[in-house]
């Protein structure tokens, strides 16, 4: 059976919040408030009610604060927690203790969030955000400031970021949309999808497909094993290279650019209608396409 209890604590507003959870979910929300509200729901697996209450009594959520920083977690769990419980939970097998931590903070507080197993959600802030996930999913949205996300096993999703952003993913899908600044992505295994990016984009995808749509800054993409697809208006230099996969460039009719394309083991073909594009001038950007083992296609959107 499962037994629960809830912890609620208030704290003074710090300059920076450092929050870490071991197993469960971690939610950090920026609000119009002048203090910090910490709510933790703890769930333990037990043989009966008495055993559950005893196990709940062991769980602690450390909270330490100063003017510069407020530290929440990591939780102290029962000593007899099952081996590899974090890995089992990531695979959908619910064992051991789970803690859902929700922290409401003033919007101007900078955040560092660490999650061992489970999801992290950070939103509604006007400050820098740093997220690290060992096994789970990271979601960052509605942030004004610099965002940095690191995931070891799990997906990363960014949306409505008013500033620069970077994602380092070892295994998992990366998706970013509505980023006003520059975006840098390093994905060792998993697809990368980016849409509506105002600044420059730099993607290194070692094993997975990369899709870029409506990128207004310069774009550079390198994939070792995966195709690359670019969609939208070409208004800045584009540099796409795939070692094992095709390249597809789908452009709007208001684009004007020069093409430098080479496919070492495949074909290069433009399927654009006659007079589809504007005639480029000497200052028009160059689209550089390199496919080591795959075809290159230039098509209409």
Which of 38-47, 84-93, 141-150 shows the lowest per-residue confidence on average (mean pLDDT)?
84-93
Give buried/exposed letters for 253-288 (b at 16+ CB in 10 A, else e).
eebbbebebebeebeeeeebeeeebeeeeeebbebb
Residue-averaged pLDDT of the chain: 90
Same domain, 113 and 25: yes
Q: What is the pLDDT of residue 115?
A: 94
Helices (H) and strands (E) in the chain, counts: 2, 24
Q: Which of 154, 184, 212 is the last residue of a domain?
A: 154
Distances (CA, A) of 154 to 7, 73, 151, 209: 28, 21, 6, 16
Q: What is the pLDDT of residue 160?
A: 98
Give φ, ψ of 87 to 5 degrees. Answer: -65, -40
Structure confidence by residue, pLDDT tens digits, 185-244: 999 989 999 999 999 999 999 888 999 999 999 999 999 989 999 999 999 999 999 999
Contacts of 92 (CB under 8 A, 6+ apart): none
Same domain, 87 and 99: yes
Q: What is the pLDDT of residue 90?
A: 47
95, pLDDT greater than 60:
no
Structure confidence by residue, pLDDT tens digits, 172-186: 999 999 999 999 999
Same domain, 141 and 13: yes
Q: What is the pLDDT of residue 40?
A: 92
Q: What tokens does 147 get?
A: 């965002």
Same domain, 3 and 149: yes
CA distance linking residue 80 with residue 105, whole number of Å: 34
The answer to whether 77 touches 20, Cβ cutoff 8 Å, is: no
Question: Could you tell me the sign of the dihedral formed by the alpha carbons of 109, 187, 298, 235, in that order?
Answer: positive
Same domain, 202 and 137: no
Question: Could you tell me the sign of the dihedral formed by the alpha carbons of 133, 121, 74, 12, in that order?
Answer: positive
CA distance linking residue 27 with residue 46, whole number of Å: 26
Which neighbouring-strand residues pair with 31? 106
Same domain, 95 and 197: no
Q: Which of 107, 126, 154 is the last residue of a domain?
A: 154
Domain count, the chain: 2
Distances (CA, A) of 44 to 91, 236, 251: 18, 54, 54
Residue 79 binned pLDDT confidence (cut-offs 50, 70, 90): low
Q: What is the pLDDT of residue 97?
A: 78
Burial of 158 (0-12, 13-18, 19+ CB in 10 A): buried
Q: Which of 154, 177, 194 is the last residue of a domain?
A: 154
Same domain, 126 and 192: no
Q: What is the pLDDT of residue 61?
A: 86
Percent of the chain with pLDDT strictly greater than 70:
92
Name the residue range of residue 216's domain: 158-301
Same domain, 44 and 3: yes
Same domain, 141 and 256: no
Residues 31-44, mean pLDDT to the nearest whole number: 92
Same domain, 80 and 165: no
Q: What is the pLDDT of residue 278?
A: 85
Residues 149-170, mean pLDDT to the nearest whole number: 96
91, pLDDT greater than 70:
no
Is 223 in a helix, a strand, or coil? strand
Q: What is the pLDDT of residue 81?
A: 58
Same domain, 93 and 119: yes
Which of 23-32, 48-57, 189-198, 279-288 shows the lowest per-residue confidence on average (mean pLDDT)?
48-57
CA distance linking residue 24 with residue 29, whole number of Å: 17
Same domain, 25 and 145: yes
Structure confidence by residue, pLDDT tens digits, 227-284: 999 999 999 999 999 999 999 999 999 999 999 999 998 899 999 998 899 889 999 9
- With CA atoms as reference, report the closest residue to 249 among 296, 290, 295: 296
């Amino acid at each position: 059976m499962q037994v629960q209890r809830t912890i609620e604590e208030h704290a003074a507003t710090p300059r920076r919040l450092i929050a870490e959870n071991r197993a469960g979910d971690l939610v950090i929300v920026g609000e119009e408030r002048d203090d910090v509200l910490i709510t933790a729901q703890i769930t333990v697996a037990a043989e009966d009610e008495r055993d559950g209450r005893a196990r709940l009594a062991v769980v602690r959520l450390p909270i330490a604060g100063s003017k510069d920083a407020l530290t929440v977690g990591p939780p102290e769990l029962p000593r007899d927690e099952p081996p590899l419980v974090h890995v089992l939970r990531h695979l959908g097998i619910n064992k051991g203790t789970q803690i859902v931590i929700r922290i409401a903070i003033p919007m101007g507080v900078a955040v560092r969030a660490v999650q061992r197993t489970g999801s992290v959600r950070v939103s509604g802030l006007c400050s820098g955000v740093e997220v690290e996930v060992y096994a789970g999913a990271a979601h960052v949205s509605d942030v004004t400031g610099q965002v940095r996300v690191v995931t070891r096993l799990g997906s990363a999703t960014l949306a409505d970021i008013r500033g620069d952003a970077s994602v380092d993913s070892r295994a998992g899908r990366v998706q970013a949309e509505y980023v006003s600044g520059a975006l840098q992505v390093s994905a060792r295994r998993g697809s990368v999808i980016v849409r509506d990016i105002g600044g420059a984009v730099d993607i290194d995808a070692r094993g997975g497909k990369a899709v870029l749509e409506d990128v207004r800054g310069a774009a550079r993409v390198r994939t070792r094993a995966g195709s690359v697809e670019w969609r939208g208006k070409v208004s800045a230099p584009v540099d796409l290279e795939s070692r094992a996969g095709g390249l597809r460039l789908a452009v709007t009719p208001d684009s004007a650019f020069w093409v430098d394309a080479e496919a070492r083991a495949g074909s290069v073909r433009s399927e654009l209608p006659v007079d589809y594009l504007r005639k480029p001038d000497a200052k028009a950007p160059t689209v550089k396409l390199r496919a080591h083992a795959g075809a290159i296609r230039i098509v209409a959107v």
